[in-house]
């Protein structure tokens, strides 16, 4: 634990463990629990189950990042380890990322070639939402049973048996068989092309109502990638009137340290800069323009135990 701002945590799978960097004031909330559970799931989805060639690894992030996060969310909710309010917040976070990201409409192949954290966040969000839709379609066809989790178990068992990565076609073949119809068009809309960014309004069941919300765009207010702490002589790409400038950051400041959570406008940015021989700390929320998109609101008065999708 350290003094990073609340919400600015990093969870990294290790060979035999999981490493989490969290701030001393971080609550054990739904987002953190889902992130920790995702790291556990990635020991199967990503290590044992892999689709297609190993390189570039980013080409499989819709599965290893997005579908893995879907699995973590579903299992935590199933066993009562996150509330439905936290469940809905996770769905809205994914929708907000696609609503506000300037890369939301970029095809997957171009995101893979770009290969940075901003592109990865979009791929993961697409994968998690796509898996949510596939799961609902499978459950609707099979009377509420099975779903995507059961199909993933079969794919993992197949990967264990062959001790190798499965071809990408294995995913489509499995879903085609279970759905009784071609599944590739849905994959193309959500993953390959990224043209779909809205869930069916009843997908979360009677305990959620679909509507719209204005989501803020993540905007640090300067070029975080090119302004290297301890190296760059000034602040590059400082936007006049942007959130960093309004908080007091100057183009002549020298960046010493930065704490932030990329893609999260609700998580405070903490900058330590050197100015006139002294170190200053600047804090602000990286909020830019707002975008209207789909959101789900938890219906009051219905206990979690009575909510079934």
Residue 153 falls within a domain, yes or no?
Answer: yes
Percent of the chain whose pLDDT exceeds 90: 76
Do residues 209 and 297 touch, judged by C-beta distance below 8 A?
yes
Residue 91 has pLDDT above 60, yes or no: yes
Percent of the chain whose pLDDT exceeds 70: 99
| pLDDT given at position 2 | 66
Judged by phi (left if over 0) then psi (alpha if -120 to 50, else beta), residue 146 lies in left
The reply to whether 300 and 277 lie within a common domain is: no
| pLDDT given at position 143 | 81
Residue 271 falls within a domain, yes or no?
Answer: yes
C-alpha atoms less than 13 angstroms from C-alpha of 222 in its C-beta half-sphere = 26
State pTM to two decimals: 0.89
Rounded Cα distance, 103 and 7, in Å: 23
The reply to whether 108 and 252 lie within a common domain is: no
Residue 64 falls within a domain, yes or no?
Answer: yes
Q: pLDDT class for 56, splitting at 50, 70, 90? A: confident
| pLDDT given at position 55 | 72
| pLDDT given at position 1 | 54
| pLDDT given at position 85 | 96
Tokens 């973590």 correspond to 72
The reply to whether 278 and 201 lie within a common domain is: no
> How many domains is the chain built from?
2
| pLDDT given at position 132 | 98
The reply to whether 276 and 168 lie within a common domain is: no
The reply to whether 22 and 77 lie within a common domain is: yes
The reply to whether 49 and 157 lie within a common domain is: yes
Mean confidence (pLDDT) of the chain: 93
**What does the DSSP 8-state code read for residue 139?**
H
The reply to whether 269 and 151 lie within a common domain is: no
Residue 140 falls within a domain, yes or no?
Answer: yes
Residue 5 falls within a domain, yes or no?
Answer: no
247: which residues sit within 8 A by CB, 6+ positions away? 221, 282, 283, 284
Rounded Cα distance, 102 and 155, in Å: 34
More confident residue, 244 or 115: 244
Residue 43 falls within a domain, yes or no?
Answer: yes
The reply to whether 186 and 147 lie within a common domain is: yes
The reply to whether 260 and 118 lie within a common domain is: no
Give residue-wise pLDDT tens across range 107-118. Answer: 999 999 998 888
For 244, the domain range is 220-285
Residue 3 falls within a domain, yes or no?
Answer: no
Q: What is the CATH number of the domain that holds 49?
A: 1.10.390.10
Cis before residue 164, ω within 30 degrees of 0? no
| pLDDT given at position 16 | 85
The reply to whether 57 and 15 lie within a common domain is: yes
Per DSSP bridges, beta strands 18-21 and 208-218 are unpaired
The arithmetic mean of pLDDT across residues 79-87, rounded, is 96
The reply to whether 189 and 246 lie within a common domain is: no
The reply to whether 66 and 208 lie within a common domain is: yes
What is residue 44's three-state secondary structure?
coil
**What does the DSSP 8-state code read for residue 18?**
E
Residue 21 has pLDDT above 70, yes or no: yes
Residue 4 falls within a domain, yes or no?
Answer: no
Residue 58 has pLDDT above 90, yes or no: no
> Highest-confidence range of 64-73, 113-122, 166-175, 264-273, by mean pLDDT?
64-73
């Amino acid at each position: 634990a350290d003094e990073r701002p609340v919400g600015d945590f990093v969870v990294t799978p290790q060979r035999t463990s999981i490493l989490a960097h969290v701030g001393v004031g971080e609550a054990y909330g739904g987002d953190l629990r889902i992130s920790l559970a995702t790291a556990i799931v990635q020991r199967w989805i990503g290590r044992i189950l892999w689709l297609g060639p190993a390189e570039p690894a980013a080409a499989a992030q819709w599965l290893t990042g997005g579908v893995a996060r879907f699995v973590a969310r579903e299992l935590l909710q199933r066993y009562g380890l996150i509330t439905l309010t936290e469940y809905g917040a996770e769905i809205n976070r994914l929708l907000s990322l696609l609503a506000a990201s300037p890369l939301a409409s970029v095809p997957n192949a171009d995101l893979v070639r770009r290969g940075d954290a901003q592109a990865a966040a979009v791929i993961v969000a697409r994968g998690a939402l796509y898996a949510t839709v596939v799961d609902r379609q499978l459950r609707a066809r099979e009377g509420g049973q099975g779903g995507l989790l059961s199909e993933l178990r079969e794919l993992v068992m197949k990967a264990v048996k062959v001790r190798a990565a499965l071809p990408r076609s294995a995913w489509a073949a499995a879903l085609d068989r279970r759905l009784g119809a071609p599944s590739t068009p849905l994959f193309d809309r959500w993953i390959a092309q990224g043209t779909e960014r809205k869930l069916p309004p009843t997908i979360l069941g009677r305990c959620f109502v679909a509507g719209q919300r204005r989501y803020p765009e993540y905007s640090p207010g300067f070029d975080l990638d090119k302004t290297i702490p301890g190296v760059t002589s000034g602040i590059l790409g400082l936007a006049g009137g942007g959130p960093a400038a309004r908080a007091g950051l100057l183009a002549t400041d020298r960046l010493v340290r930065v704490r932030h959570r990329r893609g999260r406008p609700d998580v405070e940015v903490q900058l330590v800069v050197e100015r006139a021989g002294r170190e200053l700390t600047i804090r602000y929320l990286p909020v830019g323009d707002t975008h209207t998109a789909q959101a789900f609101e938890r219906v009051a008065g219905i206990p979690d135990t009575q909510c079934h999708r």
